[in-house]
C-alpha cells in the first residue's frame, strides 16, 4: 500500500466518497511518479478530527466543484505524519521517522494524479427515489482541476527541526530540505479545491432532466468519522428536498446524522448533511440518500414585509458604470422580510436597460441603464414563486462622481467630488484603500458644486491604490463604495546610516585579533516595507547582516583585503527595498596600525576620495598577516 499510493494520501482528504465499498490497498513496488490510487478512500490512511466538504453542481448539470478542508489535531497529526513518511520507503529520507519538506513537495506534486483515481463516493440517479441496488451516475475527479494545499505539515520553528539527514546518492535532495520527527503533534490542515484557472474538479454524466424533475443523491459515508457535507444545486424553480434517510447495511438509522434544507436568496437550494461514523462499527456500510423534487409542497406561506424596509422613494446608492454591481447587501436587508423557507427581492424597473437579480449570497445585484437613475417596484418572493401582496418603490443611482489626475503620488492625492443631485446634500468620507486596508478618512460636506480635497497616503505601500467612499444623506441608504481612479503611490527609496563612536570617532569595532571588524547602524524603508542589506569590500560581497527592526550590524573579515595588500578598507553598504530601489553609503575604515586612523564616510552621490599612504611598519604587519592567513588556508 505504501509504494502504490506513493505520497499522496495527505491531499486526498476529501476525495473520500463513492457508492462503492472501501477497498484496502496492497503493497506494490511502483515508482513515485507511477501513481495508482484506484479503489481507495481517504479515511483508509488518514484520520481527521473534523472535515468540511462542499459539493456544488454547476449550471451545466455535468460538472461540479468539490472543496474539502480537514482539521487534524495533536496525536492524530503525528499519525498522519508517520503514515506519509512510510509512503516514501525506498526513497532518500523516506520511512525514517522524520517527515521532510521534500516529502511534502512530493505529496503536492503527485496528489492530483492520485486523487483522480479515487472514488468521490457521490452518486446521482434520476427518476423515482432510489436506495441502492441500481446503476448510479457517479461523480469522478478531474485531475487537471484539482488544487491541493496543507497548513503546518512541517511546523515552522519546531524545536527538533533539522536539515535533512542521510546519504543521497541520487543528488535529488533539495539544498534547503528540512525535516521534523513524525511524532510532532502540531495541529495541521489539509484542503482540496478547484485549481486557479480551472472551472471544475469533478464531473458526472449530464442529467437529461437538468434537475427539473425528481432525482436522488447518494453518498457512501462509511468511515467518515466526523464531517459536514454541503450539496449546492443551480437555481431550478421549486427545487426542494422531498425526503432523506441514512441506512446502515440497508437498515434505516436516522440517529447517525441529520439533513437540513437551506434555501438561498437567489432561489437555489443547498442541502447540509452532518454525519459521523464510529470506527468500532467497521466494516458496517453507511449510505446517505436524499430525494430532490420540483413538485410544489402541499402548503406554502407567502413572504411578508416586516416594516423595517426603507419607505417608498428611498434612494438606493450604487456605482453606476453599466456593469452589474451590488446595490443592497445581505446584512442590510436581513430584517426587511420573513418567510418560513426563504425570501428574496424581486424588483422591476420602469426605465429601459435597468435590471436586477438576487445572488446566492443574499445580495441584490443591479445593472444600470443609460438614464441617470432607475426607479424600481420591489416585492418579496420565496423559492416556490409566492410573492408578497405589498411592494415598495425605490430609486437607484449614483449620488456623486469622483475624479483625479491619474499617476503617482507621494504623500497626498487630490480628489474631486462632484454631486449628481440625486440627493441635495451628501456627507462624504474619502480615504485611500489598498489590499483591503483603509487609510485616514477625509470628511467632505458636498452640496451642489464640485469639491476638491486631499487624502493622505500614510501607511500605504508603493503601488496602485483606490479611493474608499462612504456617504450618507436623508432619504438615502448609507453608501459604501470603492472607486478606481488609476492612482499609484510612488516608491520612496530606503535610507541607511552607520553608527559612529562619538568618543573614539570611529565607525568600526575591531575584533581582539584584528582579523575582522564590525559595523552597525539603521536602515529603513519610509514606505514600511522590508529592507535587505549587502556589504562589498575588496571584491567580496556579504548579506550576513543581523537585523532587528531598523537596527543592523555586520562583521567583515579582512583576510581578502590583506591578501591583496590592501590596508585601508573601503566598505560599500547597499540597502534595497522590495521594489529594488537602493541607497548606498561608502565607509573607509583605516588599518588599526596606521598613524592616521580617522574614518571617512561618503554616500552614493559622493566622489571617491584618494587612499592615504601607510607606513612601512604597517605594510610589514599587513604582509605578515596575509602570510599567516594564507598559511591557515
Residues 112-135: tens digit of each pLDDT? 888 888 888 999 999 999 998 888
CA angle 164, 168, 169 (to 5 degrees): 175
- 283 inside domain: no
Shortest CA distance to 482 belongs to which of 515, 529, 446, 434?
434
479 lies in the same domain as 531: no
- Residues 10 and 108 reside in one and the same domain: yes
Cβ partners under 8 Å of residue 218, min gap 6: 19, 122, 123, 124, 125, 130, 132, 136, 287, 288, 289
| 121, 246: one domain | yes
> What confidence tens digit (pLDDT) does each residue in 190-215 have?
899 999 999 999 999 999 999 999 99
In whole angstroms, give the CA distance from residue 159 to residue 264. Answer: 48
Burial letters 92-102, b for 16+ CB under 10 A, else e: bbbbbebbbbb
Q: Which residue has the higher pLDDT, 267 or 602?
A: 267
Q: Looking at 263, 290, 313, which one is the last position of a domain?
A: 263
How many Cα atoms are found within 13 Å in the side-chain-facing hemisphere of 197?
2
Percent of the chain surpassing pLDDT 70: 86
Look up residue 277 and give its three cell numbers.
Answer: 461514523
3-state secondary structure 112-169: HHHHHHCCCCEEEEECCCCCCCCCCEECEECHHHEEEEEECCCCCCCCCCEECCCCCC
pLDDT digits (tens, 9 = 90+) for 584-626: 999 999 888 765 545 555 565 433 333 333 333 333 333 434 4
Residues 473-495 pLDDT 10s: 999 999 999 999 999 999 989 99
- DSSP string of 234-258, one letter each residue: ---TT-EEEEEEEEETTEE-GGGEE
Torsion of CA 287, 293, 296, 300, to 10 degrees: 40
Is residue 12 scored above 90 in pLDDT?
no
CATH of the domain at 315: 2.60.40
In the listed set 263, 290, 325, which residue is the last one of a domain according to the structure? 263
The tally of domains found in the chain comes to: 4
Owning domain of residue 446: 400-489
- On whether the CB atoms of residues 294 and 233 are closer than 8 A, the answer is no
Q: Does any domain span residue 453?
A: yes
Whether 530 is covered by a domain: the verdict is yes
Hey, what's the cell of 19? 457508492
- 493-545 residue pLDDT tens: 999 999 988 667 788 999 999 999 999 999 999 888 899 999 999 999 999 99
> Which pLDDT score, from 0 to 100, does residue 600 have?
56
Both 411 and 334 in one domain: the answer is no
Domain boundary among 201, 232, 263: 263
Which three cell numbers, joined as nine digits, stand for 401? 462622481
Q: How confident is the model at residue 85 (pLDDT cuts 50, 70, 90)?
A: confident
Q: Are residues 452 and 557 in the same domain?
A: no
pLDDT at position 384 is: 84
Highest mean pLDDT range out of 70-74, 105-109, 202-206, 608-612? Answer: 202-206
Of 220, 204, 265, 272, the closest CA to residue 241 belongs to 272
pLDDT at 601: 58
- Work out the angle at residue 553's Cα, subtended by the Cα atoms of residues 550 and 554, and round it to the nearest 5 degrees: 140
Q: Residues 6 or more apart from 182 whose CB is under 8 A from it?
A: 78, 81, 82, 85, 97, 98, 99
Q: Are residues 308 and 418 in the same domain?
A: no
What confidence score (pLDDT) does residue 529 get? Answer: 85
In this predicted structure, what is the pLDDT of residue 402? Answer: 97
- Asked if the model's pLDDT at residue 29 lies above 90, the reply is no
pLDDT score for 459: 83
Residue 40 lies in a domain: yes
Q: 121 and 51, same structural domain? A: yes
Q: Are residues 513 and 577 in the same domain?
A: yes
Q: Which residue has the cell 481527521?
A: 48
Binned at pLDDT 50, 70 and 90, residue 92 comes out as confident
282 assigned to some structural domain: no
439/429 Cα distance (integer angstroms): 11
Q: Is residue 20 pLDDT above 50, yes or no?
A: no
How far apart are the C-alpha atoms of 372 and 394, rounded to whole Å?
14
The answer to whether 470 touches 480, Cβ cutoff 8 Å, is: yes
Query: Which residues lie below 8 Å from residue 27, measured CB to CB, with a gap of 6+?
Result: 1, 2, 3, 4
Specify whether 385 is located in the same domain as 435: no
Q: What are phi and psi of 399, to 5 degrees?
A: -70, -25
Measured CA to CA, the distance from residue 292 to residue 297 in angstroms comes to 12
Question: What is the residue whose three cell numbers read 427581492?
Answer: 345
Answer yes or no: do 109 and 192 share one domain: yes
Query: What pLDDT shows up at residue 476?
Result: 97
Looking at the structure, tell me whether residues 406 and 392 fall in a common domain: no
Say whether both 251 and 342 belong to one domain: no
Task: State the burial class of residue 201 (Cβ atoms within 10 Å of its Cβ: 0-12, 13-18, 19+).
Answer: buried
End-to-end, the C-alpha distance of the chain in Å comes to 53
pLDDT at 11: 35
Q: Return all residues near 35 (Cβ < 8 A) that are at least 6 apart.
A: 5, 6, 8, 110, 113, 114, 117
Nearest Cα to Cα of residue 122 among 242, 21, 25, 220: 220
The answer to whether the peptide bond before residue 283 is cis (omega within 30 degrees of 0) is: yes
Q: Which three cell numbers stand for residue 415?
A: 480628489
Of 360, 330, 193, which is closest to residue 262 (Cα–Cα)? 360
Nine-digit cell at 259? 439533513
Q: Which cell numbers hold the place of 472?
A: 450618507
pLDDT digits (tens, 9 = 90+) for 144-179: 999 988 899 999 889 999 998 865 666 677 888 999
* CATH number of the domain where residue 596 is located: 2.60.40.2450
Answer yes or no: is 286 within a domain: no
Q: Residue 88's pLDDT is what?
A: 78
Q: Is residue 76 part of a domain?
A: yes
In a domain, 275, yes or no: no
CA–CA distance, 403 with 406 (Å, rounded to integer):
9
Chain centroid to Cα 351, Å, comes to 41
In whole angstroms, give the CA distance from residue 81 to residue 187: 11
Q: In the prediction, which pLDDT does 416 show? A: 97
Q: Tell me how far the alpha carbon of residue 429 is from its chain's centroid.
A: 29
Neighbours of 452 (CB within 10 A): 11
What pLDDT does 5 receive?
A: 37
What is residue 334's three-state secondary structure? coil
All cell numbers assigned to 64? 461540479
CB 457 within 8 A of CB 411: yes
Amino acid at each position: 500500500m505504501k509504494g502504490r499510493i506513493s505520497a499522496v494520501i495527505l491531499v486526498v482528504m476529501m476525495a473520500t466518497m463513492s457508492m462503492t465499498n472501501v477497498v484496502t490497498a496492497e503493497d506494490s513496488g511502483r515508482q513515485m511518479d507511477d501513481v495508482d490510487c484506484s479503489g481507495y478512500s481517504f479515511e483508509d490512511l488518514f484520520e481527521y478530527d473534523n472535515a468540511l466538504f462542499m459539493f456544488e453542481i454547476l449550471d451545466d448539470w455535468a460538472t461540479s466543484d468539490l472543496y474539502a478542508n480537514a482539521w487534524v489535531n495533536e496525536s492524530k497529526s503525528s499519525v498522519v505524519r508517520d503514515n506519509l513518511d512510510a509512503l516514501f520507503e525506498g526513497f532518500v529520507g523516506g520511512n525514517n521517522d522524520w517527515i521532510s519538506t521534500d516529502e511534502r513537495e512530493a505529496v503536492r506534486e503527485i496528489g492530483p494524479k492520485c486523487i483522480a483515481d479515487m472514488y468521490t463516493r457521490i452518486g446521482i440517479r434520476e427518476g423515482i427515489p432510489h436506495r441502492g441496488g441500481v446503476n448510479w451516475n457517479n461523480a469522478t475527479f478531474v485531475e487537471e482541476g484539482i488544487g491541493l494545499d496543507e497548513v503546518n505539515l512541517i511546523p515552522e520553528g519546531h524545536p527538533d527541526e533539522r536539515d535533512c539527514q542521510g546519504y543521497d546518492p541520487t543528488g535529488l535532495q533539495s539544498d534547503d530540505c528540512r525535516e521534523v520527527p513524525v511524532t510532532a503533534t502540531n495541529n495541521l490542515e489539509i484542503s482540496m479545491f478547484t485549481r486557479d484557472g480551472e472551472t471544475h474538479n469533478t464531473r458526472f454524466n449530464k442529467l437529461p432532466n437538468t434537475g427539473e424533475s425528481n432525482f436522488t443523491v447518494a453518498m457512501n459515508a462509511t468511515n467518515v468519522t466526523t464531517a459536514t457535507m454541503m450539496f449546492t444545486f443551480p437555481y431550478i424553480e421549486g427545487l426542494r428536498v422531498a425526503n432523506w434517510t441514512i441506512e446502515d447495511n440497508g437498515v434505516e438509522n436516522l440517529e447517525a446524522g441529520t439533513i437540513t434544507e437551506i434555501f438561498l436568496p437567489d432561489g437555489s437550494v443547498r442541502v447540509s448533511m452532518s454525519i459521523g461514523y464510529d470506527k468500532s462499527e467497521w466494516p458496517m456500510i453507511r449510505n446517505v440518500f436524499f430525494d430532490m423534487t420540483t413538485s410544489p409542497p402541499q402548503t406554502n406561506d407567502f413572504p411578508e414585509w416586516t416594516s423595517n424596509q426603507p419607505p417608498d422613494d428611498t434612494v438606493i446608492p450604487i456605482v453606476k458604470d453599466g456593469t452589474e454591481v451590488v446595490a443592497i447587501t445581505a446584512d442590510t436587508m436581513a430584517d426587511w422580510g420573513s418567510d418560513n423557507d426563504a425570501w428574496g427581492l424581486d424588483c422591476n424597473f420602469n426605465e429601459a436597460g435597468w435590471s436586477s437579480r438576487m445572488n446566492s449570497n443574499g445580495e441584490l445585484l443591479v445593472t444600470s441603464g443609460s438614464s441617470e437613475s432607475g426607479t424600481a417596484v420591489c416585492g418579496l418572493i420565496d423559492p416556490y414563486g409566492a410573492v408578497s401582496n405589498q411592494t415598495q418603490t425605490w430609486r437607484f443611482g449614483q449620488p456623486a462622481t469622483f475624479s483625479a489626475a491619474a499617476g503617482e503620488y507621494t504623500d497626498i492625492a487630490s480628489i474631486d467630488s462632484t454631486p449628481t443631485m440625486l440627493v441635495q446634500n451628501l456627507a462624504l468620507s474619502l480615504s485611500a484603500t489598498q489590499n483591503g486596508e483603509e487609510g485616514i478618512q477625509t470628511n467632505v460636506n458636498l452640496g451642489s458644486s464640485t469639491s476638491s480635497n486631499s487624502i493622505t497616503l500614510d501607511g500605504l505601500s508603493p503601488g496602485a491604490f483606490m479611493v474608499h467612499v462612504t456617504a450618507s444623506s436623508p432619504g438615502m441608504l448609507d453608501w459604501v463604495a470603492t472607486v478606481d481612479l488609476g492612482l499609484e503611490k510612488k516608491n520612496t527609496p530606503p535610507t541607511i546610516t552607520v553608527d559612529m563612536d562619538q568618543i573614539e570617532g570611529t565607525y568600526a569595532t575591531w575584533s581582539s585579533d584584528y582579523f575582522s571588524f564590525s559595523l552597525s547602524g539603521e536602515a529603513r524603508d519610509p514606505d514600511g516595507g522590508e529592507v535587505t542589506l549587502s556589504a562589498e569590500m575588496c571584491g567580496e560581497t556579504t548579506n550576513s547582516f543581523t537585523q532587528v527592526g531598523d537596527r543592523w550590524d555586520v562583521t567583515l573579515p579582512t583576510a581578502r583585503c590583506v591578501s591583496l595588500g590592501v590596508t585601508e578598507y573601503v566598505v560599500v553598504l547597499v540597502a534595497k527595498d522590495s521594489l529594488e530601489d537602493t541607497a548606498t553609503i561608502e565607509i573607509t575604515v583605516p588599518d588599526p596600525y596606521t598613524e592616521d586612523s580617522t574614518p571617512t564616510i561618503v554616500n552614493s552621490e559622493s566622489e571617491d576620495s584618494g587612499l592615504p599612504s601607510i607606513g612601512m611598519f604597517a605594510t610589514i604587519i599587513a604582509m605578515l598577516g596575509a602570510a599567516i592567513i594564507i598559511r591557515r588556508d
